Amino acid sequence: MPKILITPRSITTGGHPALERLCEVGFDLVFCTPGKMPSEEELIALLPDCVGHLAGVEPITARVLDAATALKVISRNGSGVDSIDLEAAAARGIRVCRAEGANSRSVAELTLGLLLSLARSIPFSDHHLKGGRWQRRRGMELAGQTLGLVGCGQIGRAVAEMALALGMQVIAYDVAPAASPAGSPSFRYASLDEVLRAADFLSLHCPATADGRPLLGAAELAAMKPTAHLVNTARASLVDSQALLDALEGDCLAGAAVDVYETEPPGDDPLVKHDRVVATPHIGAYTWQSVDRLMQIAVDNLLTHLP
């Protein structure tokens, strides 16, 4: 029976009904270590006999693809493919498919939750009250604040619409700007520099840079207001983590929220432990509805492109 490797952490832990469609047409499913992102060595050990790979966010390198001699299709249960060596895949005739747009709503709603958490210090208040301490931080209302977006594709536009509904002003940077969300006079496009300088809250919704370098380093963070907050639900590599930590420690930035990390789990990451950082364990697409949409599309792509 032809084999398909399954590696998304949410699926190796609990499975998903969509996988039954692969079994029904004769595929044998192979799973990596449950609940863990597979290492390069584990992928090399598991992929050689597989014709398909239903992939998560784990790096799929040229070395992995060299070992995957039978592989025809990589189907991501997400929209990002920057963890895959696309040039190496193309050279080997391996098709790479995405579940584009399936997680837009869930990531946008998490972003809104993180904005509110930062504005009202919700995790801080919960932590101290559960510890028996009546300690409060004065918050701010989002209405009238300026939300800066870096990237205004499907996720960015969904975030913009939610922010506009709350009375925020939205200013966005995108390399290929589309129509303004809802045609609102409270939304406009601008240069990256203007977005950085204007934002009270800055939220990232773009791919990693082509060369892998941070989009936001010390200079970019220094251009922001010292009262501003940063939200990253996109890619860890977009932000220089040491520069962000330095900005927080030097009171050059008021706070940050992070859902993505260079290493997952992040271990003893000082950003995760920082008092003015809200940290979540890469849950942007981790809702019942989003996982269902992602898996159905990922399985559809495998069935479409595998003989």
pLDDT in tens, the chain (307 residues): 999 999 999 899 989 999 999 999 999 999 999 999 999 999 999 999 999 999 999 999 999 999 999 999 999 998 889 899 999 999 999 999 999 889 999 999 999 999 999 999 999 999 999 999 999 999 999 999 999 999 999 999 999 999 999 999 999 999 998 877 767 899 999 999 999 999 999 999 999 998 989 999 999 999 999 999 999 999 999 999 999 999 999 999 999 999 999 999 999 999 999 999 999 999 999 999 999 999 999 999 999 999 8
CATH placement of domain 104-279: 3.40.50.720
The two domains 3-102+287-305 and 104-279 share their CATH topology (first three levels equal): yes
Q: Identify the pLDDT of residue 297.
A: 97
Q: Identify the pLDDT of residue 210.
A: 86
The answer to whether 235 and 212 are in contact (CB under 8 A) is no
Q: Identify the pLDDT of residue 96.
A: 98
Q: Where are the alpha helices (DSSP H) in the chain?
A: 9-14, 19-24, 40-46, 62-67, 86-91, 104-120, 122-130, 154-165, 192-198, 218-223, 241-249, 270-273, 288-305
**First and final C-alpha spacing in the chain:** 12
Question: For residue 165, how many C-alpha atoms fall within 13 Å in the half-sphere facing its CB?
Answer: 8
Q: State the amino acid at position 185 in one-letter form.
A: P
Q: Where are the alpha helices (DSSP H) in 39-182?
A: 40-46, 62-67, 86-91, 104-120, 122-130, 154-165
Specify the CATH class of 3-102+287-305 in words.
alpha beta
Question: For residue 206, how many C-alpha atoms fall within 13 Å in the half-sphere facing its CB?
Answer: 25
Mind telling me the catalytic residues? Answer: 235, 264, 282
> For residue 154, which phi and psi values (nearest 5 degrees)?
-60, -45
Domain ranges of the chain: 3-102+287-305, 104-279
Is residue 156 classed as helix, strand or coil in its secondary structure?
Answer: helix
